[in-house]
A and B are shown apart, each in its own frame.
Chain A
Amino acid sequence: MLRIFWLAIAIVGGLWGQKVDPAFFETKIRPVLASQCYACHSAKMKAPMGGLVLDTKSGLEAGGANGPVVVAGKPGESRLLTALRFSDPHLQMPPSGKLADAVAADFETWIAAGAVDPRTAPAGGETSKALKGMSLDEGRKWWAFQPIAKAAPPPVRDEKWARGKIDEFVLAKLEAAGFPPSGQADRRTLVRRAYLDLVGFKPTFEEVEAFADDASQEAWPKLIDKLQALPQYGERWGRNWMDVARYGEDNSTAEATNQPYPYAWRYRDWIIEAMNRDVPFDRFVKLQLAADLMPDAARADLRALGYLGAAPIYHKDQRLSADVIGGFLADDWDERIDAVTRGLLGMTVACARCHDHKFDPISTKDYYGLAGIFASTARIERPLFEVEPAVEARYMWVQRRLIDLRYSANLLTNEASTVVDSDKRVEKWKAEIETLKAEMLGLRAKYPKLVDSVERYWAPPAPRPAAGEPAGQRRRPVLVSTEPFTNAVYDAAQYVDGSDAHYTFLVYKPGEARDVPVFRNGNVATPGEIVPRHFLSVLSQGENRFGKGSGRLELAEKIFTDAAPLAARVIVNRVWGWHFGRPLAPTASDFGVQGEAPTHPELLTYLAADFVEQGWSLKWLTREIMTSAAYQQANRPRPEMMKADPTNTLVWRMAPRRMDIESYRDTLLRVTGRLDHTMYGPSQDVEAAENVRRTVYGRVSRSRLSPLLKHYDFPDPMQSSGGRDLTTTSLQQLFVLNSQFFQDSAAVISKTVQDVPTESRRMRELYRRLLSRDPSAAELDLALSFLSKGTLEQYAQVLLSTNEEILWP
Chain B
Amino acid sequence: MALARRELIQAAFGLLGNLGISSAMGHYTGQRTPGKAKRVISLFLAGGPSQVDLFDPKPMLVKYQGQRPGGVDLRTERQTGGLMPSAFAFSKRGRNGIEVSDILPKLGGVIDELSVIRSMYSFNPTHTPASSLYHTGTILANRPSIGSWISYGLGAENQNLPSFVALNSSGPAARSAFLPAEHQGMPLNGADVEPEKMIPNLRNKKLDASAQRRQLDAVQALNQRFGDAFGADEYLSGRIQSMEAAYRMQFEATDAFDVRKETAGTRALYGETPFGNGCLLARRLVERGVRFVNVGSGDWDDHKEIEAAYKKKIPAMDQAASALIVDLKRRGMLDDTIVVWGGEFGRTPVSESGTGRDHNPYGFTMWVAGGGFRGGMAHGATDEFGFKAVENRVSIHDLHATMLYALGLDHTQLTYRYAGRDFRLTDVFGNVVKGILA
Contact = CB atoms under 8 A, between A and B. Distances in A.
B401 to A, nearest CB: 11
A804 interface: yes
A795 interface: yes
28 contacts: A251-B141, A314-B141, A319-B78, A331-B140, A348-B420, A359-B420, A417-B353, A636-B230, A637-B233, A646-B7, A656-B236, A716-B142, A728-B238, A730-B159, A730-B245, A732-B242, A733-B239, A734-B201, A734-B246, A734-B249, A736-B246, A738-B250, A782-B218, A789-B214, A790-B214, A798-B219, A803-B223, A807-B236
Given A646-B7, A782-B221, A803-B239, A348 B419 contact: yes
A730 B249 contact: yes
Contacts of A737: 201, 204, 212, 216, 243, 246-247, 250
Contacts of B390: 95
A590 to B, nearest CB: 4
- A interface, size bucket: 35 or more
B422 interface: yes
For the residues of A in contact with B, the DSSP-based class is loop
A96 interface: yes
A273 interface: no
Interface in A277-296: none
Interface string B118-136: 0000001110110000000
Contacts of A389: none
A2 B415 CA distance: 11
B242 A728 contact: yes
B177 A718 contact: yes
Given A315-B126, A350-B419, A656-B233, A727 B3 contact: no
A728 B215 contact: no
A733 B419 contact: no
B127 to A, nearest CB: 9
A2, A342, A719, A743: residue with the most chain B Cβ atoms closer than 10 Å: A2
Contacts, number: 232
B265 interface: no
Interface stretch (B45-53, B60-68, B182-190, B328-336): B182-190
A96 B126 contact: no
Interface in A1-59: 1-3, 5
Contacts of A418: 77-79
Interface residues of B, number: 90
Contacts of B357: none
Interface string A442-480: 000000000000000000000000000000000000000
A320 B239 contact: no
Contact of A647 (B3, B142, B159, B427): B3
A713 B178 CA distance: 10
A105 interface: no
A710 B181 contact: yes
A381 to B, nearest CB: 22
User: Sorted from nearest, which 5 A-B pairs have the closest CB atoms?
Assistant: A348-B420, A252-B141, A733-B246, A418-B78, A718-B142
Contacts of B240: 803
Given A713-B181, A731-B186, A737-B216, 8 more contacts: A95-B391, A324-B124, A716-B142, A718-B142, A725-B2, A732-B242, A734-B250, A803-B239
Contacts of B202: 734, 738
A589 B417 CA distance: 12
A334 to B, nearest CB: 9
Interface in A412-442: 415-420, 422
Nearest to B76: A319
A656 B171 contact: no
A619 B353 CA distance: 64
A739 B171 contact: no
B353 to A, nearest CB: 6
Contact of A730 (B160, B171, B391): B160
A735 B182 CA distance: 14
Nearest to A794: B215
Find the residue from B79, B181, B412, B431 having the highest chain A CB count within 10 A.
Answer: B181
A255 B171 CA distance: 14
A320 B125 contact: yes
A718 to B, nearest CB: 4
Contacts of A3: 412-413, 415, 422
B392 A728 contact: no
B264 interface: no
Given A315-B128, A731-B246, A658 B141 contact: no
A557 interface: no
Contacts of B413: 3
